[in-house]
Structure 1
Amino acid sequence: MRRGGILTNIALWLIAVFALAPLAWMVSVSFMSPGEASSFPPPLLPTKPSGANFVALFANTDMARYLANSLVLATLATLLSLTFNVMAGYAFAKLRFRGRDQLFRVLLTALVIPAQVAMIPLFLICKSLGIVNSFAGVLVPSIASVFGIFLVRQYALSIPDEMLEAARIDGASEGRIFRAIVLPTLKPILATLATFSFLGSWSDFLWPLIILNDSEKQTLPVALANLSREHVQDVELMMAGSVVTLLPVLALFLLLQRYYIAGLMAGSVKG
């Protein structure tokens, strides 16, 4: 048994090294001198580490603007997702209304539809609303998602009905019950949903590319793709841009890691 545990740990370490090696090399290349990564064989570490690539990235491009755009949009998308998905998920789990279960089954069928299929009608809706080429148009898909509603609903089912009924008997309004009882109970799944929403909005490439025409409103993934076409030979600069793109989401995951894992584990047990 002990030998089996050792072999399992070795296998997990090998998988972790295999998964993290490209990221580690990306960070290493971002500190190399121009052209150093293109030599053969490719060096693993920079000969003379330098932050010149990051300086050039922000000095010669509008990367600071794109970074600010992505931060604002990802933050707003996360807040919108938490607000609407949590309220809808709680309603489907604990509030009684006509056709609740049937409507939820209809929503679940949308999980099998690829997101790309809905982009054309979604674009036409945004065009009719006059929000094409605006941040509001970028945020429309983030308002609510079937997955987010499902995630919250499955966790909210674990809230005892007796607790909610006791609060109602004591005269608490539905709004107070939601704020004082439901939200604190949903804290682990809120962190999980916030992580998913932020990562999804931050790394989204196709929808901002479709909805935004103004280069000043571009998000970081779109700007990084444009940068790759302009500086296709400058591998070190591209890796510096990739590191800048990675750092915020990595920081968020490390910050919410404990709650994120707790939410996933609790959801898997209680769902």
Structure 2
Amino acid sequence: MKRLTNVVTMIVMIVIALISIAPILWMVTGAFRPYQELFKYTSLNIHLIVPVEWTWKNFHNVIFNTRNPFLRYIWNTLLVASIVTILVLIINSMAAFAFAKLRFPFKTVVFALFMSAMIIPGEVTLVPNYLLMHDLGWLNSYKALIIPSMLSVFGIFMLRQFFAEVPNEMMEAARIDGATLPRTFVAIVLPAAVPALITLGLMTFLGNWDSYLWPLIVINDQKMQMIQVGISTFSSNEGTDWSKVLAANTLSTVPILLLFLFLQRYYIQGITMSGIKG
């Protein structure tokens, strides 16, 4: 009975995995199809996934497109996402450490106010943030993309859960040995939260890599645009060139897949540990 249950479970998991991966396979293989063949096969057969005629022309047209500099979009997004991720890890880890280990007046009240920000939809703050960027003169600049994204309330909450698990005795021993508070934070507290830091870094990088609405609003210069907005430029009043869109989406997926490939162990560990400690 146990073996039968395991077999049924495995079959169900395989079916769910195939259903989940099918759209991704169609996207990747569709990027290698000529436009005329893209929607030709709609019934369930092998050619729905496997192209009849393979071509690299779609990738060539996307990469070497003079009107839409796709490689520039990738560079802009990589630059902004990397800087935001580094700043988020630095700023939010220090804030989380303060909430977890330091004593200061009204700490509970301040933390509760921070947590209340998690229930506010991003659309509510969209207009005020835009007006703030306008008043500061930051529109159409990287500062409008980087600075508003430096603080993550969820990141502070998650890291605080990890830092709270660090024994106070270890910090007290470090203080007795002459370690300053910053040295204790760097040498003792941060190493204990490496899985959480990597998890937060991946989530932050992915969120900025997939960002669409905010860059669309604050960036007008096409050479400074982010990748998701750049992909949308393959649509026009004359129609959407879906072959180019699929090729561009395939190219934009590669960096994220590589990140998860090398850091998936830490990501899963961070999610699991945060669930246990939460």
The TM tier, using the shorter chain, reads: over 0.9
Separation in structure 1 between the aligned mates of residue 42 and residue 18 of structure 2, nearest angstrom: 21
With the length of structure 2 as denominator, give the TM-score of the two structures. 0.93
Separation in structure 2 between the aligned mates of residue 257 and residue 109 of structure 1, nearest angstrom: 30
Q: CA, structure 1 residues 231+56, in 2 after alignment: closer, same or farther (shift >3 Å)?
A: farther
In 1, the alpha carbon distance for the partners of 2:199 and 2:100 equals 18
Look up the SS of the partner of 1:117 in the other structure: coil
Of the structure 1 ranges 13-22 and 232-241, higher mean CA displacement relative to structure 2 is found in 232-241
Do residues 18 (structure 1) and 23 (structure 2) align? no
* Equivalent residues of 1:231, 1:238 under 8 A apart: no
Question: For 2:244 and 2:80, how far apart are their aligned partners in 1?
Answer: 25
In structure 1, the partner of 2:106 is 99
Q: Distance in 2 between matches of 1:140 and 1:114?
A: 19
Checking the alignment, whether the CA contact within 8 Å between 2:234 and 2:241 is kept in structure 1 is no
Structure 1: 5+ residue stretches without partners: none
Query: How much has 1:232 moved relative to structure 2?
Result: 3.4
Greater mean alpha carbon deviation, residues 229-238 or residues 46-55: 229-238
| Farther off after superposition, 155-164 or 4-13 | 4-13
- Find 1:138's aligned residue among 145, 165, 171: 145
Q: RMSD of the TM alignment (CA)?
A: 1.4
Kindly state the Cα deviation for residue 34 of structure 1 after the two structures are TM-superposed.
Answer: 2.7
**Separation in structure 2 between the aligned mates of residue 256 and residue 229 of structure 1, nearest angstrom:** 38
Query: What does residue 55 of structure 2 align with?
Result: 50
Q: Percent of pairs identical after alignment?
A: 39
Q: Secondary structure at the match of 1:115?
A: coil
Kindly report which structure 2 residues correspond to 1:88-167, keeping only aligned pairs within 5 A, or say none: 88-167=95-174
> Paired residue for 2:35?
34
Q: 1:97 to 1:158 in 2, by over 3 A?
A: same
Alignment of structure 1 residues 1-271 onto 2, 5 Å: 1-41=2-42, 43-60=48-65, 61-229=68-236, 232-271=239-278
Structure 2: distance between partners of 1:208 and 1:230: 21
Structure 2 unaligned runs (5+)?
none
Structure 1 residue matching 2:113: 3-state secondary structure: helix
Matched-pair contact (CA < 8 Å) for 2:234–2:244: no
* TM-score (normalised: structure 1): 0.96
> Aligned-pair distance for 1:230?
6.3
Displacement, 1:64?
Answer: 0.8
Write the distance in 2 (CA, Å) between the matches of 1:90 and 1:14.
Answer: 43
Q: Which has the higher helix share?
A: 1
Alpha carbons 1:57, 1:63 under 8 Å: kept: yes
Task: Name the CA distance, whole Å, in 1 between partners of 2:260 and 2:188.
Answer: 26
Number of corresponding residues = 271
Contact 1:28–1:44, Cα closer than 8 Å, also in 2: yes
In the TM superposition, residue 141 of structure 1 has moved relative to its aligned partner by 2.6
Q: Return the alpha-carbon distance in structure 2 between the equivalents of residues 27 and 247 of structure 1.
A: 11
Judged with a 3 Å threshold, the aligned counterparts in structure 2 of structure 1 residues 57 and 32 are, in CA distance, closer, same or farther, namely same
Q: Higher mean Cα deviation, 55-64 or 197-206?
A: 55-64
Question: Secondary structure of 1:116's partner?
Answer: coil
